[in-house]
């Protein structure tokens, strides 16, 4: 399963870089979100993919029963997803406001400060 996840992660990184090199601000934000998802998938894959129980210790036990999943990468990825969603929401509002004022999403045309 890890080789498939490595290929998917590489494809996400490649498509993110491709989208970030376009001259549209919308495509730039889409590329940044793809880059964030690729980084999350990389962390998830590098933590090891095990078919284990959730990381819970039964009541009265000193250690978990059997193989468990590592909870730290899951917590990091969940935090990164929430932060990325907040950044995406802010970026969408900012792009919408800029488009209403400038009437373009081309980054080259946004360099003009006369608007």
3-state SS, residue 16: helix
Who contacts 8 (Cβ-Cβ below 8 Å, separation ≥6)? Answer: 41
Q: Does a structural domain hold residue 93?
A: yes
Q: What is the pLDDT of residues 26-68, one digit of tens each?
A: 999 999 999 999 999 999 898 877 776 777 888 888 888 777 7
Q: Does a structural domain hold residue 114?
A: no
Q: Does a structural domain hold residue 54?
A: no
Per-residue model confidence (pLDDT) at position 48: 78
The model carries a pTM of: 0.81
Query: Could you write out the three-class secondary structure of 26-43?
Result: HHHHHHHHHHHHHHHHHH
**Cα 105 vs. chain centroid, distance in angstroms?**
23
Q: What is the pLDDT of residues 2-17, one digit of tens each?
A: 899 999 999 999 999 9
Question: Residue 99's domain spans which residues?
Answer: 2-49+71-107
How many structural domains are present in the chain?
A: 1
Helix (H) or strand (E) holding 93: helix 71-102
Say which CATH number the domain at 85 has. Answer: 1.10.287.3510
């Amino acid at each position: 399963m890890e080789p498939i996840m490595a290929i998917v992660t590489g494809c996400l990184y490649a498509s993110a870089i491709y989208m970030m090199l376009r001259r549209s601000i919308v495509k730039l934000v889409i590329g940044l979100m793809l880059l964030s998802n690729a980084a999350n998938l990389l962390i998830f894959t590098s933590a090891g993919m095990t078919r284990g129980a959730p990381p819970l210790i039964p009541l009265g036990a000193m250690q978990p029963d059997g193989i468990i999943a590592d909870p730290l990468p899951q917590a990091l990825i969940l935090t990164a997803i929430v932060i990325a969603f907040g950044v995406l929401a802010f970026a969408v509002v900012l792009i919408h406001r800029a488009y209403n004022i400038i009437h373009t999403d081309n980054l080259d045309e946004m360099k003009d400060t006369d608007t």
